Each structure stands twice: as structure tokens, then as C-alpha cells.
Amino acid sequence: MSRIKHVHARRIWDSRGRPTVEVDIITESGALGRGIAPAGASRGTREAIELRDGGTRFGGLDVLHAVQGIQQEIAPALVGLEVADQTKLDAILIALDGTADKSRLGGNALIATSLAALHAAAAQAQLPLWRYLSNDRPVQLPLPQVQIFGGGAHADRRVDVQDFMVIATGARSFVEAMEMTAEVYRHAGLLMKKRGASQGIADEGGWWPAFAHNEEALDVLVMSIEAAGFVPGQDVSIALDIAASEFGQNGRYTLGLEKMELDTDGLIEKLLRWIDKYPIVSIEDPVAEDDAKGMIAFTNAVNGRVQVVGDDYLVTNAKLVQEAAKQKACNAVLIKPNQAGTITETLSALTAAQEAGYATIVSARSGETEDVAIVHLATGWNAGQLKVGSFARSERMAKWNEGIRVETTAPHPQGFAWRALQRI
Ligand code: PGA
Ligand code: ZN
């Protein structure tokens, strides 16, 4: 147990070269915790608001006001507080901000502070963060979802679907999942080159999607799994993030690449055809955040055959998760700490999901940093799954590598959540 002595905030830079907020919290006995806010590009409208300065500097994205808010308002309120009392600390942050959407002090300021305190408390307890969070419960390393092609808002809308990912469903350890993914990623790159489609990588490290239509990406993904020597659907399966809020609202969806306008039923039919044709095991945001009817219809139509993940649809919000569970919309929840704004609220959303029997996937954002906290959250909270982006760029690899460290450093978590998808 130790009290908070210092709270330092500064502006640093994220993986897209944009400003973001970093907070250091130091306890009276000298333990240091550091939290960094990530940033999304395809954000849900109900997420905690990022406080950005506006104007012309850095495209209006500077965070000097958020940093100032931490120094002038948050720091004085936290100094002297017991660092391990995360619930109290987060309640103070929420009350200080005073808005429903965290727009006054900024969700970015709040999550960086909340994470810094969590890290400091683990450092104070002299435990790795995952172990501090596990509270001595048995926990497992999460099953990774790894992007191979990046699309949507992360690749200039070159294809409509945002993430074409793989899940190493045949892996029996985190290390093995990484090995299998590395081969698929490598072969996907070789295939792109062979087709004359090699155009670099997208925001999260996935290959730039130089495809004529969305299905071509799925075809090349299956070819990549086979070229890597794996059986699609058995060793390695496909996960998609449609991120449908990016190209649809009011029940109308415009697929730019295929120059096609679909209504909710049309989009659902198309996705169901993909599920029949390809070894897909997970689909995130199949319809837009405003399309509750569509989400209920899709979840009902797939009837447990695939994981249906709510991201923009549920925005890491316990109330929205409970509501969705009542309506039988989705069967899994993406958990992004900065959508909620504090660690306590993130954990509430995760707990609500677990209580409803929903699968949980802790996730990074498209704008990331060297911060690896989400790997520890996914493990220590026993989330079951982890989504970090692709298998390139150090802000992504730092997280995969951290998972390898957690798995191979004693004391170990109790195994690997290779059955995570079977819970659906
Ligand atoms: P974002 O997207 O971080 O750009 O909002 C990631 C996702 O949709 O999962
Ligand atoms: Zn998403």
C-alpha cells in the first residue's frame, strides 16, 4: 500500500505520428506507473470523447488541453490517494470530468491517468500487471486475432471491410499461435507480390488491400493459409471486422469497392454467404451501430455458428452490453479501455459480458504506442481473446512479444485459451 506522490502528464506521439497523452504516476515509496492513451480511427459515436485542441496545429489533433487538465485539475485531486484504490481513483476522475461522455477533461486524459495508476499499483505490489489483476485466480493467455489485410478507415477505404484477420484455432500455446500467424502473414505478402498487388502496409501493419472486391481478399486469405501449410478452418480460421458503421446508417449500406447499395437484409445475406463459403469463425460489427434490428437478426441467423462481436455497437459500456444481452444482439464484446475512459468502467463492461455468457476480446486501437497494458488486461482478467492489429510495426509486435514473455516467464498463467471460441 502506498499513496500517490506525483502525477506527471506529457504529450507524446502515437504510431500514426499524431499527438497523444502520457501520464506517469509515482507513489510515496517510489513505484512508477505509466499510462498512454491510444486513438481510434473508426470510432463509435457513444465512446468516451478524445479531447483534441482543434485549430490547424497537427491537423487539430494536439492534446495540450488534455495534458493541462491533468496537471491542473487531476493531479491535485489524486496526490495523497492510495494508489491501489482503483475504484475510488476512477470515481474521482469521472466526477472531476463531470460529463456523460468525458468531453470536458477528455477520455484520453482519463484513460492515460487510470492506466498509469493501475501500473503503479502493480509495481508497488512488485507483481507483473497480469498477475496483479488476476488476484491469484487461475487465468489463461488469450487467443489472438491477427490482422493480415487492413482495410476501411485504416487503408483509405481501399476495401470496405476493415480487418481481414486470422485466428490460429489449431494452436495450443500463445507462442505457437504467433508462429502460425507469422507464416500466414509472410505467405500473404509473397502472394501479394506475385499478383503484382504489393503496395505496402496499412495503419495496423496488415498488407495494403490491393483487391478488386472484398471477396478477393477472402480468397487470397484462404490461399495464404494454405500456402503456409495449414488447413483453413482447422489450423487457422478467419475473423472479420466489417466495421459497418463506417459505410452505413439508417439501414442503408454503400459498398464503395463493389459500387453496391444494400439494405440491412442484403448486407446480412452477403455476410451469411461468406460464412458458408469461407472458414469464418468471428464477425465484428456486421451492421452499423444504429442498426439494432440488424444486429439481432444477424445474431439470430448465425445461431452460434460464428462469434458476433460488438465494437462500435457496444463501445465497452456495461449498460449497452446488458441491453444487448436482453435483446440477444451479439454474443461477444470487444473491450477497448479508451472507449470506456477508465479501468473501472472497462472492467464493468467485461464483467457484464462474462455474466451474460458473452465472449470477450480485449483490443488495441488503430493509433497505438509501445504501451503493452492490453496484453496484461486480457490475461489478468481472463478475457479469452486479444486483438492487437497485424504482425508488423513495433507498436503491434511489442504487444505480441509481451504475450510471449508472459507465457514463458514464471510464474505462468494456467495455459492458453485455445478453446475461447468454443464458448459461443
Ligand atoms: P479503431 O478501429 O481503433 O480505428 O477505431 C479498430 C476496430 O474497429 O476494431
Ligand atoms: Zn472494430
pLDDT in tens, 197-254: 889 999 999 999 999 999 999 999 999 999 999 999 999 999 999 999 999 999 999 9
- Atom index in ligand 1 nearest the CA of residue 154 equals 4
- The CATH number of 4-126 is 3.30.390.10
Q: Which amino acid is at 170?
A: G
Higher local confidence (pLDDT), 157 or 13: 13
143-422 shares the fold of 4-126: no
C-alpha 41 to ligand 1 mean position (Å): 6
Q: Could you read off the pLDDT of 120-140 as tens digits, one per residue?
A: 999 999 999 999 999 999 999
Query: Residue 1 — pLDDT band, cuts 50, 70, 90?
Result: confident
pTM of the entire structure?
0.98
Point out the catalytic residue in the list 47, 215, 246, 336. 336
Please answer whether residues 379 and 142 qualify as being in contact, where contact means their C-beta atoms are separated by less than 8 angstroms.
yes
pLDDT of residue 424: 61
| Closest ligand to residue 203's CA | 1
Q: Compute, in angstroms, the gap from residue 148 CA to the centroid of ligand 1.
A: 15
Spell out the domain ranges in the chain.
Answer: 4-126, 143-422
Examine the pLDDT at 342 and tell me if it is beyond 90: yes
pLDDT digits (tens, 9 = 90+) for 405-418: 999 999 999 999 99
What percent of the chain is predicted at pLDDT more than 70?
Answer: 100
- Which residues touch 373 (CB under 8 Å, ≥6 apart)? 35, 115, 118, 119, 129, 337
43 CA closest ligand 1 atom index = 5
Tell me, what's the pLDDT at 422?
Answer: 84
Question: 143-422 maps to which CATH number?
Answer: 3.20.20.120
From 162, 396, 399, give the residue whose CB has the most ligand 1 atoms within 8 Å, as the site to mutate.
162
3-class SS string, the chain: CCEEEEEEEEEEECCCCCEEEEEEEEECCCCEEEEECCECCCCCCCCCCCCCCCCCHHHHCCCHHHHHHHHHHHHHHHCCCECCCHHHHHHHHHHHHCCCCCCCCCHHHHHHHHHHHHHHHHHHCCCCHHHHHHCCCCCCECEEEEEEEECHHHCCCCCCCCEEEEECCCCCCHHHHHHHHHHHHHHHHHHHHHCCCCCCECCCCCECCCCCCHHHHHHHHHHHHHHCCCCECCCEEEEEECCHHHCEECCEEEECCCCEEEEHHHHHHHHHHHHHHCCEEEEECCCCCCCHHHHHHHHHHHCCCCEEEECCCCCCCHHHHHHHHHHCCCCEEEECHHHHCCHHHHHHHHHHHHHCCCEEEEECCCECCCCCHHHHHHHHCCCEEEEEEECCCHHHHHHHHHHHHHHHCCCCCCCECCCHHHHC
Ligand 1: residues whose CB is within 6 Å? 40-43, 153, 162, 241, 243, 311, 363, 365-366
Nearest-atom index, ligand 1, CA of 363: 9
Q: What is the pLDDT of residue 423?
A: 61
Going by alpha carbons, the residue nearest to atom 2 of ligand 1 is: 42
* Catalytic annotation present for 226: no
How many Cβ atoms are within 10 Å of 194's Cβ, its own excluded? Answer: 10
Among the listed residues 164, 163, 188, 166, the one whose alpha carbon sits nearest the alpha carbon of residue 177:
166
| Known catalytic residue at 387 | no
CA of 331 to the centre of ligand 2 (A): 15
Rg of the Cα atoms in the chain:
21
Distance 311 CA to ligand 2 centre (A): 5
Of 42, 49, 284, 386, the one to substitute when testing ligand 1's pocket (max ligand atoms within 8 A of C-beta) is: 42
Catalytic residue among 204, 345, 368, 395: 204
Atom of ligand 1 nearest to the CA of 312: 8
Give the confidence band of 258 by pLDDT, cuts at 50, 70, 90.
confident
Tell me what the pLDDT averaged over the chain comes to.
97
Q: How far is it, in rounded angstroms, from Cα 48 to Cα 37?
A: 12
- Probe target for ligand 1 pocket from 363, 393, 399, with the most ligand atoms within 8 Å of CB: 363
Q: Which amino acid is at 168?
A: A
